[in-house]
Amino acid sequence: MNYQVPLLWLIYVFGSCTSANNTKEKSDSKSSDSVVVEKENIPVEITNSDSLEFANLPLQWEMITHQNDEFVLYHPCDAANPSITIDKEKMTIDVVYGQDGNSFTIKSWKYEERPYKDEFEYIYTFETVDYYKSEKTLKLNYDKGDGVSGWSGVFDTDGPVLFIPERLFEKYPKIKQPCRECFSEEDCPD
């Protein structure tokens, strides 16, 4: 009877140490393979092989519009030009639709390279949850060369919508819609 209490105590202590060591080993092996970020109780897993490509992904994007046989950055007089901002620290994708917007928390993402013509197509697929807790898949077909890239899932369209990264904003003509096309003459400055 005297030996039962110390024996149970030793089993408890030994079991706790073994359990803690197993948890640490799992944690250490996990950290060498991936990084887990948590935002609003949503775990985001990024594998080390993908993290370099994610680090090189442009953060600011603006939609381009085809007008008069060329692509332009079209700024309506009553809304903003649609844009996308990726925040790698917060793991979010913020979309401005014009007068409206939404924020998507990135739950997971993957990166693929596929042969395309004489080059590669770089595809990022983001599994997200939006502000309203709706799950949505956003996809970016990123052309690292000329920069014109298609975002799918951002707008309610059948195909991708064309965007350019911030490094190309100065290379495209900016067309601002005349104020008088949206408002009365009294509401528009000269």
**Domain contains 188:** no
Residue 69 shares a structural domain with residue 22: no
Query: Above 50 in pLDDT, residue 110?
Result: yes
**Domain contains 41:** no
Residues 6+ apart with CB under 8 A from 105: 39, 40, 42, 44, 91, 92, 128, 129, 130
Q: Which helix (H) or strand (E) segment is 13 a member of?
A: helix 4-33
**Domain contains 175:** yes
**Domain contains 39:** no
Let me know: does 121 contact 133? Beta carbons within 8 Å: no
Residue 9 shares a structural domain with residue 58: no
Residue 113 shares a structural domain with residue 81: yes
Let me know: does 168 contact 60? Beta carbons within 8 Å: no
Query: Above 70 in pLDDT, residue 36?
Result: no
**Domain contains 75:** yes
Residue 99 shares a structural domain with residue 24: no
pLDDT of 120: 66
Instruction: Name the phi and psi angles at 155, rounded to 5.
Output: -115, 160
Out of 16-20, 112-116, 163-167, give the one with best mean pLDDT.
163-167
Instruction: Give the confidence band of 5 by pLDDT, cuts at 50, 70, 90.
Output: very low
| Domain count along the chain | 2
**Domain contains 59:** yes
The model's pTM is 0.71
**Domain contains 189:** no
Instruction: Give the confidence band of 89 by pLDDT, cuts at 50, 70, 90.
Output: confident
Let me know: does 127 contact 111? Beta carbons within 8 Å: no
* DSSP state at residue 133: S
% of the chain with per-residue pLDDT over 70? 69
**Domain contains 186:** no
Residue 20 shares a structural domain with residue 87: no
Q: How far is CA 52 from the centre of its chain?
A: 14
Residue 76 shares a structural domain with residue 22: no
Residue 125 shares a structural domain with residue 150: yes
Residue 71 shares a structural domain with residue 108: yes
Residues 6+ apart with CB under 8 A from 188: 179, 180
pLDDT 10s digits, 97-106: 988 999 999 9
Hey, is 110 helix, strand or coil?
Answer: strand
pLDDT of 6: 46
**pLDDT, average across residues 93-117:** 86
Residue 30 shares a structural domain with residue 52: no
What domain range is 8 assigned to?
Answer: 4-34
pLDDT of 138: 92
pLDDT of 103: 93
pLDDT of 98: 86
Residue 129 shares a structural domain with residue 75: yes
Residue 19 shares a structural domain with residue 93: no
Out of 31-40, 57-66, 120-129, give the one with best mean pLDDT.
57-66
Answer left, alpha or beta for residue 90, where phi above 0 means left and psi between -120 and 50 means alpha: alpha
Instruction: Give the confidence band of 9 by pLDDT, cuts at 50, 70, 90.
Output: very low
Q: Which helix (H) or strand (E) segment is 54 a member of?
A: helix 48-55
Residue 69 shares a structural domain with residue 130: yes
